[in-house]
Each structure stands twice: as structure tokens, then as C-alpha cells.
Chain A
Amino acid sequence: MRNLVILGAGTGGTVMASHLRKRLPRGEWAVTVVDRDNEHYYQPGFLFIPFGFLRKKDIVKPRSKFLPKETEFIQAEIDRIVPASNEVVLRDGRTVPYDYLIVATGAEIVPAETPGMLDGWGDTIFDFYTADGAEALAAKLKTFSGGTLVVHVNETPIKCPVAPLEFAFFCDACLRRHGKRDKVDIVYVTPLPGAFTKPVAAAALGALLEKKRIRMVADFNAERIDASARKIIGYDGREVPYDLLVTVPTNMGAEMIERSGMGDEFRFLPTDPRTLRSKKHENIFALGDATDVPASKAGSVVHFQSEILTENILRAIDGRPLEPAFDGHANCFIEMGRGKAILIDFNYETEPLPGRFPFRVFGPLPLLKPSRLNHWGKLAFRGIYWRLLLRGRRIPFVPSRMKMTGKKRPAAAPGA
């Protein structure tokens, strides 16, 4: 019996188990998945919790329910990978040998990376990147009577880079609905030069922030937070005062990667951006938030990667050359509040562009422009996630490689 071992039973680990259990002969291959707990959260749902649209229990299901039959699920903390002996050591001392290993241990927020951030944690500083953080923020927002609300991105890359923008748009929409918009200044603080990394989307999203009277502080890199004076202090000496700080702390890969001595400075695993194989070890592959590939850290990306990774692992097992097929494709809905959302579709080479996304179910979806159809698309994603994505089924009409059909490059935009 040969062993395929998958570390992490989140989006990437689960979908890879679904794909590979179907493709690897049962008598010859055991598939083992390891995760520290049995609670699979639909992370895009975290955004909706602070506003009372969803609660924790609405977006969590047992991980084991989504793993195919005849996969072994080990619930344990992973201590480290030992590539020299092809085994994984668990915290409880057990070892799990592997022939092929898939790293899907994701990314997590690390507030301790910013001096002072933890001083105000749960008091005037909150996150919405964890289920507990989002619930604590929901309670806080209920009693927040007014002042300066700062939405802050500490350092890039972060998972779902549009989530903090969505959060800011939601705040605006909710405050308006309750007639309290004039009591709150919303400020968006980012280390990027604009609202997004790429110019065309940055201009479109920046214009929307302005229209919604959300002030942007760009190119801001926080050196520390003075929680008692309630201000963020930048390396360049600039200060941003807040009454309520909603931050996306530095995102890093799992500590397990660092304990294994395999990570970069963010604990991400150096991974070939096109084949998804570890740059160092021939029998180790990775997908999702755990890698250092310069694609968005998003569920849609994991989905596109999983199809390509499945083929590449089968090629590696057969001794055939890998196909460098991953193009960085990402496809994200950005919630605007008030029943509208924006859709962006892009890859390594092509930035998000306006136009229309071909979608035969209810007609093309507008790109880079708020619309109701996109909002429904985002809501539908929750069902698609549990029913199709995790089970490794095809999501209708969304190809794993990006297509240019329907996209329009503005005349002034620089070439890809």
C-alpha cells in the first residue's frame, strides 16, 4: 500500500481528497488527511457575522462529512514534516509516513507581529478573519455609538484581499440603513498605493470608496499601535487615530511549516507557481493559502489549482513530466452592501478588467461594476462551496484557466 497524505482539511485539503480518492486505485493507495479539529468553517461567511447577517453556527460543518469514504481522517495537531524520512510527526508523537504529501495548511492571522496590537485586542481592536473574532466584533458594533472606525490592512499578502474593502462597504451600507452614517467616519488604511494591487481595479474601487465617503490612507505601513492613545503609528511617522479599529493583521502560513524549516519569511511554502510542486522536494505539493505563489489567497483559486494539481500528482506518480498549467486564475465577488456586488476575474498576467463575464445560467455577469446579479452570485457561492467545490465537482461555466472573452481593456491601461 502506498500513502498519499494531505495536511489540512480546509478548502484545499478536502477538495484534493475528493479528487484523488476517485483517481487513485483503492487497493494500492491509502489517502490520509490530518487536521487539528473537526470544524470546517466557510470562511467567506466571516464577513457577514459582524453585521448580524450570519452566525457562527450557520457556516460550520464537520470536516469529516466532506471527506470521501475510504479516506482516513486523523484529528491531531501536526508538529512538523520531516522530508528527509518522508514522514509527518504529530504533536502526540505519532508519525505518518507518506509517498506523496500535499500541504494545505492555509494561512492565519498573527496580530502579535505588530507591537501593541494585542494590547487593545477585544476592547477597541477587532478582527473578522476568525469565527470568534467576527462574533466579538458583532457584539461591539451593536454598541458602537459613533466616532472614527478604521478598517486596516497591516501587511500584504492577505487571504481574500478584497474582504477588508467589502467590510468597509458593508459598514457604510449598514450605518446608512440605520440613519447613523453621519455619526461615523470610516477610514480605510492600506499598505498598498491604492484600493487594490492592480491599476484598473484600484481606480474603479478607489472611486467607489470616495463615492461612499470612505477616506483612504494609502502606502501606510504600521510600525506599532498605541492602544491606550488609540492610534496606529506608521514607519514614516504618520499617525491614524481610531475609536474602533477593525484590522486584518499580518497573515502567515501555519507555524508547522516554520517548525519544519520549510517556510519563507511569511511561513509560506516555496512552491512552483505553475506546477504547484514544492521547489525543494519532488514528492511534496501544495495548494491554497499555504503556498508562496503570487496568486490571490482565495477559495476560487484553490478550486482552480485543485484540478491542475490532481493531474500533476498523477503525472508525478506515473513518472511523466508535470504540466505547468496553473495561470494564477482568481474569480472573486466583492460585496458592496444594499444587495449589490462586483465581480473580478484575473490571473498572473491579466489584471481585473471591466466588461462582462460569460455565464450562461442567468446571462453575463458585469465585471468590475456593482450589480444585483453579482450579489446573488456571491450568495450562491456558499451552496456551491459545500455542494460542489469541496466535493471536487465542476463549477458550471467557470474554467480553471482564465478566458479573455467579454473583457475590455480601457484605452489608458498599460498592457498586460
Chain B
Amino acid sequence: MPLKTYGNTTVDVDAEGYLTDFSQWTRTVAEAIAAEEGFAALGPAHWKVIEFMQKEYKENGQVPSIRRLNKSGVASTKELYELFPGGPAKKAARIAGLKKPEGCV
């Protein structure tokens, strides 16, 4: 299992850089992953999405789909693409310290 160091925290990640142990997640780690993904900074709208995803994951054991985020009123699909360009569910999940959203086979 690869390790990755963000600042002075070392975390376990999978081959694609997703945390494998959520207990290692901190807001500082999130900010460092976001920087790596090319974000200048995480604003309140980003945090709202990240925290909702973490709450959903804790409750259902599943990373919520974009449709779920949209329906729950956290952010519209359009806003999600503006907040996390290039793949809202995947990017937000990685920053949130969750596993990669299950590719639906």
C-alpha cells in the first residue's frame, strides 16, 4: 500500500491517490490534495459538498452520486461541475478522503 506525505501527515493511499483509511483525513490533508488536483483554494461551497459526502458515506457506506448531491440540494449538477471541474464526484471524493466512487459496471 503506497504512502503519501502531506505537510507533516503521512497517509495510506491506493494506486490512484485515494485515502484508504478515513481516520487519517484532516482538513489540512484535504487542502493539500486539493492543491495537488489544481485547486487554488477550497471555499465554503466546496466544504459544504465535502462534508455532505462524508456524512452520506458514514451513513450509507456509499460515495454519493452527482445525481444524489443534486437531489439533496447541496449543489446543483451545474454548480458541482463549476466547483470541481473535470469530474465532481471523483475529485470531491478524493479531497473528502473517501474511496473512488464505484464505477457502476
Residues of chain A whose beta carbon lies under 8 Å from any beta carbon of chain B: 155-157, 161, 192, 196-198, 219, 221, 223, 235-236, 264-266, 294-296, 330, 346, 414
Contact = CB atoms under 8 A, between A and B. Distances in A.
A161 B104 CA distance: 9
24 contacts: A155-B67, A156-B104, A157-B105, A161-B105, A192-B103, A196-B105, A197-B103, A197-B104, A197-B105, A219-B86, A219-B87, A221-B77, A221-B81, A223-B78, A236-B85, A236-B86, A264-B68, A265-B67, A265-B71, A266-B67, A294-B104, A295-B105, A330-B105, A346-B105
Given A235-B78, A236-B85, A414-B15, A157 B68 contact: no
A219 B90 CA distance: 11
A295 B68 CA distance: 19
Interface of B: 15, 65-68, 71, 77-78, 81, 85-87, 102-105
A296 B78 CA distance: 28
A196 B104 CA distance: 9
A265 B90 CA distance: 18
Nearest to A292: B62
Contacts of B86: 219, 236
A198 B68 contact: no
Contacts of A155: 67
A308 to B, nearest CB: 18
A157 B102 CA distance: 10
Contact of B105 (A198, A223, A235, A236): A198
B3 to A, nearest CB: 17
Contacts of B81: 221, 235-236
Contacts, number: 42
Nearest to B16: A414
A157 B67 CA distance: 11
A294 B100 CA distance: 14
Contacts of B67: 155, 265-266
A197 B15 CA distance: 16
Contacts of A236: 81, 85-86
The binding surface of chain B is classed by DSSP as: loop
Nearest to B67: A265
Contacts of B66: 221
A264 B69 CA distance: 12
B65 A294 contact: no
Given A219-B87, A236-B81, A414-B15, A296 B68 contact: no
> Which of B78, B85, B87, B104: most chain A Cβ within 10 A?
B104
Closest 5 CB pairs of A and B: A197-B103, A157-B104, A235-B81, A156-B104, A265-B68
A236 B86 CA distance: 7
A159 to B, nearest CB: 11
Contacts of A157: 104-105
A265 B67 CA distance: 7
A296 B105 contact: yes
Nearest to B65: A265
A178 to B, nearest CB: 34
Contacts of A161: 104-105
Contacts of A196: 105
Contacts of A296: 105
Given A156-B104, A198-B103, A221-B81, 16 more contacts: A155-B67, A161-B105, A192-B103, A197-B104, A219-B86, A221-B66, A221-B77, A223-B78, A235-B81, A265-B65, A265-B67, A265-B68, A265-B71, A266-B65, A294-B105, A414-B15
A192 B77 CA distance: 16
Nearest to B80: A235
B61 to A, nearest CB: 10
Contacts of A265: 65, 67-68, 71
Contacts of A414: 15
Contacts of A264: 68
A294 B15 contact: no
A166 B104 CA distance: 18
A9 B81 CA distance: 40
Residue from A192, A223, A265, A346 whose CB has the most chain B CB atoms within 10 Å: A265
Nearest to A352: B105
A330 B81 CA distance: 32
A264 B68 CA distance: 8
Nearest to A266: B67
